[in-house]
Amino acid sequence: MDGSVVITGGGTGGHLKVADAFIEEFYKRGIPVIFIGSSNGQDKQWFDNDKRLKTAYFLDTKGVVNKNALGKVTSLLNIISKTSYCLSLFTKYNVKTVISVGGFSAAAATFASIVKPACKLYIHEQNSVMGTLNKVTSKFATEVFSSFDKKSLIKDYPVSKEFFDLGRIRKNVNTIAFFGGSQGALVINNFALKVAVKLNKMGINIIHQTGKNDYERVKEEYEKLNIKADVFDFSKDIPSKMEKADFAVSRAGASTLWELCANCLPTFFIPYKHAAGDHQYYNAKDLNDKGLCFLQREGELKEEDFFNAINSDIHTISKNLASSINSNAVALICNIIVQNNKK
């Protein structure tokens, strides 16, 4: 494969997990990879000084959505300036392939790939509702990959191998995990505390990711209830937490949703109601329509529905989750990209 591949995008963990999967796959193939992200998201935390990369650039870019008129103009002018800078990088490193994983971090390099002759753009859309940037740029892409789009050549989501390796078919619910994401989710934290006493009486163990801001409060509440729960704010070892659980309660960001599927872990999804385009709800609805999960909006949460879910046929759901996603998605996507590059 000629030249370097640019992986661009990020801002939040969902986008960055997919970027990481692509970086790892190209690195294994001996293809040089450049990461272009933003200095204003989590990008630098993930990929600064990453030895798998030829180099990384973290540009001072910001999103356009949810800004006033002046903020939008300022952001757009900044993106134009950074697009010009990306074009110079593409020439310097002989870039012919750009893969966008979405998020505001991806804008400059994505637009540069559209402007630059003989440069192919590939987009990975994580969610069931396409993001604003991807809506604009997808018409210029050589290929758009999505787990939710029936037209996509590859339907599976790039999930780290460890989630598959630690996956197992569940039969009974002995342990429940509450996952609110690295930032935590107050709604899930409060719901967990509401049902904790009954779970404890049922002999069900609790694993609970609270997020940094709510960790002390939640930990103290469990202590007041005299319940020994595995409470943590953040962990890099989420796969092993999932492995210990027989059932989960979670937000429905795409990366977490597909990680839970890979782990064969039946889940009660409570989507974040302010997610752009209500995409978390529609992510989970796609699974729910296939009978592969449970789904409840924040404002409709009922303890009765939750306990009905954990007392349902989770064995069948867990078995069906095992065939809902394949483990070689990123390799198949990269095969297509490498093959197209030879044309």
The residue range of the domain holding 248 is 162-321
Please compute the mean of the pLDDT values over residues 179-200 and round it to a whole number.
92
Distances in Å between the Cα of 260 and the Cα atoms of 134, 188, 240, 318, 330 are 25, 17, 12, 10, 17
Rg of the chain over all Cα atoms, to the nearest angstrom: 21
Q: Where are the alpha helices (DSSP H) in 251-301?
A: 254-262, 279-288
**Percent of the residues in the chain that have a pLDDT greater than 90, as a whole number:** 79
> What pLDDT score was predicted for residue 65?
59
Same domain, 250 and 143: no
Nearest to 25 by CA among 57, 48, 58, 1: 1
Distances in Å between the Cα of 181 and the Cα atoms of 21, 31, 52, 78, 106 are 19, 32, 26, 31, 22
- Taken in order 310, 184, 323, 297, is the CA torsion positive or negative? positive
Mean pLDDT of the chain: 93
E strand map for 142-222: 143-146, 175-179, 205-209
Q: Give the model confidence (pLDDT) of 101-112 as tens digits.
A: 998 889 999 999
> What pLDDT score was predicted for residue 329?
95
Same domain, 146 and 166: no
- Six-digit token pair at 138? 């997808």
Same domain, 150 and 125: yes
Please compute the mean of the pLDDT values over residues 218-247 and round it to a whole number.
96
Same domain, 81 and 195: no
> What pLDDT score was predicted for residue 66?
57
pLDDT tier for residue 276 given thresholds of 50, 70 and 90: confident
Nearest to 243 by CA among 336, 298, 167: 167
Please compute the mean of the pLDDT values over residues 145-151 and round it to a whole number.
89
Measured distance CA(121)–CA(141) in Å, rounded: 5
* CA-angle at 76, arms to 71 and 78, nearest 5°: 95
Same domain, 34 and 139: yes
Question: Please, which residues have CB within 8 angstroms of residue 181's CB and are 6 or more apart in sequence?
Answer: 13, 209, 211, 251, 253, 256
Lowest average pLDDT, out of 9-18, 60-69, 78-87, 188-197, goes to 60-69
Q: Give the count of domains, the chain.
A: 2
Same domain, 139 and 177: no
Same domain, 110 and 175: no
The one-letter amino acid code at 85 reads: Y
Q: Would you call 280 helix, strand, or coil by DSSP?
A: helix
CATH number at residue 309: 3.40.50.2000
Please compute the mean of the pLDDT values over residues 249-277 and round it to a whole number.
95
Measured distance CA(18)–CA(55) in Å, rounded: 18
Q: Give the model confidence (pLDDT) of 63-81 as tens digits.
A: 665 566 666 667 778 888 9
Same domain, 119 and 192: no
pLDDT tier for residue 41 given thresholds of 50, 70 and 90: confident
Measured distance CA(80)–CA(86) in Å, rounded: 10
- Six-digit token pair at 261? 């599927």
Same domain, 187 and 294: yes
Please compute the mean of the pLDDT values over residues 208-222 and round it to a whole number.
95
